[in-house]
Amino acid sequence: MSEPLDTLWYTRCPVPTGLGIAVQKGWLEEGLRGQCAQIKSLRESNDRAVRESHFDHTLKNSVRHGGSIPAIWAHSAGRDTRLVGLSWADETQRILTLPKSGIQSVKELKGRRFGLPKWENVQIDFPRAQALRALENALKLEGLALADVELVDFPIGGGFSDGGPARDVKGAYVFGASRSGRNTELVGLIREEIDAIFLKGASAAQTAHQFDLHTVIDVGAHPDPIIRSNNGTPRTLTVDRNLIDRHFDSATRILAEVLRAEDWAHQHPDETRRFLARETNSSEYWVGVAYGEEAHLHLNTDFDAVSVRALQDFSDFLHRQHFIPAAVDVAAWIDARPYEAAARAETLRAA
């Protein structure tokens, strides 16, 4: 028997997710009406500790849909969370150089300088981890390893939650100024202090165009899903264990609204592109470049075997590179009950 839920905290990354659309359309609040007294965005909280839960998942009765690295780290570090869904929306993952560098292929990265962000006061440095993952996967395609490239750190002070609460401006999150330090390696590339960097998503596509950068490889376009697997492929939908154990009906309703939003997206490509532009704080054009013209069809939360295998491979990488304190067994982390209950309810409703 589910207990009444006072407050549900939700958070999502500025990337394509079913939860993001469900929030923007008001369906999450609508679906939980009667089950939950209030629904709050933890990234809009004035409390830094609450905002930091986006990364460490410490807040009770919270749901998170977004990049997998913080979710994996939190589980590895002992947070009592459960993986209740996986979604896979391919995105551009680019290793970029200046045209004058002469680097035209991955082979030519050997012996060259690769810039990496290094956040000095964060629990999990996910920008560094995702850059290393893309670089390692690109290099292995040519029989090379990370040791064949000179890694150059670009230290960044402060933390991800230091800039104050995010502001929701017509569906787009606007973050504080401290987050702007994330592009220090781009500045290093423009100054020719390094030879290559990694950027992903709509901002990567726009930045590459703006600065006339050469794309050495788009790892996100490789046919092998393991090569493409990274922070956003797949994305994790996680909740804390208390939400499932004591408020199972609410956990199920969250999944139901995510699936509802994704089904709606499949039928509304143009409107979905506009929603994704707000989610990524970008334009519809760059959303199309970064996520493809069929991005609306790639919003699917489930437990696809390829997604589970890719997340395990990625988790193993994070442990091998010392980004997480303990190995993660993805299969043991999964709790499919809310997803299965939501899917059954949808089947009955559609019958």
pLDDT score, position 159:
83
- What is the spatial distance between Cα 42 and Cα 68, in angstroms, rounded to a whole number? 18
The rounded mean pLDDT for the chain is 93
**What is the rounded average pLDDT of the residues 26-53?**
91
pLDDT band at 195; cut points 50, 70, 90: very high
- 93-140: per-residue pLDDT in tens? 999 999 999 999 999 999 999 999 999 999 999 999 999 999 999 999
Cβ-proximal residues to 271 (8 Å cutoff; 6+ apart), any chain: none
Question: Are 169 and 267 part of one and the same domain?
Answer: no
Q: How confident is the model at residue 32 (pLDDT cuts 50, 70, 90)?
A: very high
Contact indicator for 142, 247 with CB cutoff of 8 Å: no
Inform me whether the pLDDT recorded for 55 exceeds 80. Answer: yes
235-240 and 62-66 beta bridge pairing: antiparallel
- Dihedral sign computed on CA atoms, order 252, 257, 258, 263: positive
Residues 103 and 182 in one domain: yes
Is there a contact between 76 and 319 (Cβ–Cβ < 8 Å)?
Answer: yes
Pairing of strands 36-41, 5-12: parallel
Question: Same domain for 106 and 205?
Answer: yes
Burial 84-107 (b: 16+ CB within 10 A, else e): bbbbbbbbbbbbbbbeebebeebe
Asked if 181 and 290 sit in the same domain, the reply is: no
Nearest one of 132, 129, 70, 117 to 328, comparing CA atoms: 70
* Average pLDDT of span 148-166: 87
Same domain, 80 and 98: no
251 contacts: CB under 8 Å, gap ≥ 6 = 63, 84, 239, 243, 244, 338
- Are 176 and 245 in the same domain? no
**Domain boundary residue, one of 182, 204, 228:** 228
pLDDT at 183: 84
> Which range has the worst mean pLDDT, 87-96, 130-139, 272-281?
272-281
CB 51 within 8 A of CB 165: yes
Instruction: Name which of 278, 260, 205 is nearest 18 in CA terms.
Output: 260
Reply yes or no on whether the pLDDT at 225 is more than 80.
Answer: yes
Residue 180 pLDDT level (bands cut at 50, 70, 90):
very low
How large is the average pLDDT for residues 232-252? 96
C-alpha torsion 171→62→259→289, nearest 10:
50
Q: Which runs of consecutive H residues, i.e. helices, occur in the chain? A: 18-24, 27-32, 48-56, 68-76, 126-140, 184-190, 201-210, 225-228, 241-246, 248-267, 269-280, 284-291, 305-320, 330-333, 337-350
SS3 for 42?
helix
Gap between the Cα atoms of 191 and 184, Å rounded? 11
Specify whether 290 is located in the same domain as 311: yes
Burial of 58 (0-12, 13-18, 19+ CB in 10 A): middle
Exposure letters 153-178 (e unless 16+ CB within 10 A, then b): ebebeebbbbbebbeeeebbbebbeb
> What does the pLDDT look like over 282-335, one tens digit per residue?
999 999 999 999 999 999 999 999 999 999 999 999 999 999 999 999 999 999
DSSP-based three-state secondary structure for 34: coil
As a whole number of angstroms, the distance between CA 34 and CA 53 comes to 26
- Residue among 116, 122, 157, 155 nearest 135 (CA): 116
Domain boundary among 228, 253, 278: 228
**Domain's final residue, options 187, 211, 228:** 228
Residue 127: the pLDDT is 96
62 and 179 fall within a common domain: no
Average pLDDT on 258-285 reads 95
Cβ distance 118 to 156 under 8 Å?
yes
With CA atoms as reference, report the closest residue to 236 among 160, 333, 320, 325: 333
Sign of the C-alpha dihedral, residues 304, 307, 310, 316?
A: negative
Assess whether 151 and 65 both reside in one domain. Answer: no
Q: What is the pLDDT of residue 349?
A: 67
One domain for residues 189 and 174: yes
Distance between CA 87 and CA 20 in Å, rounded?
12
State the Cα–Cα distance between residues 173 and 26, nearest whole angstrom: 16
Residue-wise DSSP of 263-294: HHHHH-HHHHHHHHHHHHTS-HHHHHHHH-TT
Query: What CATH number did the domain enclosing 74 receive?
Result: 3.40.190.10
Number of domains in the chain: 2
Q: Are residues 106 and 83 in the same domain?
A: no
Q: Is the pLDDT of residue 18 over 50?
A: yes
Residue 174 reports pLDDT greater than 90:
no
Q: Which residues pair with 94 in a beta bridge?
A: 199, 218
Q: Quote the domain boundaries for residue 167.
A: 93-228
Q: Are residues 63 and 108 in the same domain?
A: no
